[in-house]
Amino acid sequence: MEEKSFLKQKIDKESPNRNIVPVTTSIEVDGKLSVGGCSIEELVNKYDTPLYILDEITLRKSCKAYKNALEKYYPGKSLPIYASKANSSIFMSNLVSSEGLGLDAVSEGELLTALKGGVPNEKIVFHGNNKSDKEIEFAVRNNIKIIVDNDYDLKRLEKISNLLNHDLEIMIRFTPGIECHTHEYIRTGSFDSKFGFGIEYLNTLFAKISGTKYLKLKGLHAHIGSQIFELEPHKDLGEIMVKVILAAKKFGHNIDELNVGGGLGIKYTESDDPPSIDEWVKTISSSVVEACKKNNLEFPTLMCEPGRSIVSTAGITIYKIGAFKEIPGIRTYLSVDGGMSDNPRPITYQSNYSACLVNNPFNIDSKNKYTVAGKHCESGDVLFKEIELADCKTGDLICVFGTGAYNISMSSNYNRIPRPAALLVHEGEAEIIQKRESPFDLLKYDVLPDRFIKRN
């Protein structure tokens, strides 16, 4: 069997999304895996499994890559905004803010987390296709810019601004009609999408906003999907958005902010080949600059919303091997102590990852293929349908790479399984950024009705 070649590939420290592993990954003298200067085996001995681990250096390099590329390629003002749905926590909010990034949120919980993490309210944008009144009021009270997704949003914002007798700055989201080759569930830029106004409706929308007293149209937002490896759609997006700015001018709106969304892919497996962060930013910046020059338009503030490409590669998940089940001539199941409750993406999106054993990462002298199954009561709870691993036994550790995004944030308590702990590693030090839940934590919000208590 071939060794795990991705562990021997040169690490791209300038664009971490092009690596499978965190930039600080190494194999120690004992042949075992280390990240952030920390022995994974030692971390497990102290913190148990399943265990989420985030590498601080990888996170910061990803943030810097976006900031540096925007400063390099875009002559106007710019602001990269972290899409916090990828991994929302007080820690992540604090880290991206410390690197000068803004943050995008889609709920009161994400907004509160951002503010508690120290993100300035003027650098937060509030998304969502069905915002509640309570959420909108929270955003308005905290002077957070709202991205209007539909007429329902617009009507309520007009009502609130009238009640307050106060200007409200808004952005509008529209669907630019760009297709890209990605999973159909995460394709958000086509005409048929639950998100945003149809591009054909924009003139009517601009007229409506002109008729309001206090709503001030500040910017535009469009997003064409996630885990995208193509650059061409982003070339088209800049030109389309500038044309919409020009259309809005006819209705008296001076738009000076463009938010082009995110969507840059990462390298989950060896066959994945995403563009670098630098290439992506250069493409979208050049598109906007060219369109602005062509139309004699001042450069608007350029925003983008990376999420996965900032946090995913920085994250790994560690599992402990339990049961083996061999079905002769078909497959061998290897079960781990986690699964769909800590990583729902394989069962939801049929997502693929890369993995290795912690104590034998290079698969030396092995001819084993396994189906790695989770412990949940679902036949579909399978993390890997087929993966090559070194000889292993019950109690050995498996490291799954690229789990920083949409694992902890989409985790659940299915089967009443507590969520794992999350650690931050940096230069040989490990600190908890999310405590491990206990089974007793899951009972905190259960309530037994009084009449049942009396009956018992």
3-class DSSP assignment, residue 344: coil
Round to whole Å and give the CA distance between 36 and 324: 31
- In 39-173, where does DSSP find H-type helix? 40-47, 56-73, 90-98, 108-116, 133-141, 151-164
Taking 3-state DSSP, the helix, strand and coil percentages for the chain, each rounded to the nearest 5, stand at 35, 25, 45
Cβ-based burial of 144 (10 A; exposed 0-12, middle 13-18, buried ≥19): buried
Locate 454 and state its tokens. Answer: 């009396």
Query: Where do we find the tokens 């601080």?
Result: 56
Give the span between the Cα atoms of 262 and 30, in whole angstroms.
Answer: 40
DSSP string, 71-99: HHH-SS-EEEEEEGGGS--HHHHHHHHHT
Separation CA 429–CA 440 (nearest Å): 29
Active site residue 377: yes
Quote the crossing angle between the two packed helices 90-98 and 108-116, to the nearest 10°: 60
Q: Pick the catalytic residue: 63, 377, 392, 399?
A: 377
- Residues noted as catalytic: 377
